[in-house]
Amino acid sequence: YYLLIMINKDTKLFGSFSRKAGSVGCKLFNTCFKFDDLNAIYKSFSVENISNAVKSAKCLNFSGFAVSMPFKTQIIPLLDEIDDIVKRTNSCNTVILLKKNTGDYKLCGYNTDYMAVHTYLSQLILSGILKKNITILGNGSYSGTVQICCKELGIKYNLITRKDWDTIPLIENTVVFNCTPVTNIIIKSNNYFIDCINTTETGNKLAKIQASIQ
């Protein structure tokens, strides 16, 4: 109700584009907008074509949008400017639209996933949970971001993909990071499991860190 009475011609539009839209970002950002008394609204969208979604965002005067799987790499050629982290990871999940004097938009891309993962893994190192090794599940754009973080933090990693997925039950005494949309992964209890899916406990923590930076 609050959002309905505050929306007007000056309301800033933000959103997220993914294959399957969720509500976590909507709850978080709209709560923050309300708390800070900002005239803005955030809405998630399920899209099949990221190029068409970008055109729509420009047409509707979006101020920015998030990008989720599977578009984090596909979005890069559509951007006008990317930061160094996007260049290193070849992944972008945050886009800011800056209006130019011509009336068109300049699209600037960032990777706040990297910042969140780097923060989270650093906390695990400091706590002693993460020591020297980690096992990463998946080899998509999010996995690539985690791999870059591990290299920069001096963490050795083992990569498990579809071809050796059946070896997961054999993993013992390490940190396991699921970077795929696969749910209900069964691992031994002597592992520390990090799941990127934002409906899980660890995924929700990562999502909150990422969104606070975003």
Q: Which residues are catalytic?
A: 72
Degrees to nearest 5, angle at CA 128 with 123 and 129:
80
Helices (H) and strands (E) in the chain, counts: 7, 10
Find where tokens 């005067």 sit.
61
| CA neighbours closer than 13 Å in the CB half-sphere of residue 67 | 31
- CB neighbours of residue 196 within 10 Å: 24
Dihedral pair phi/psi, residue 182, rounded to 5°? -70, 130
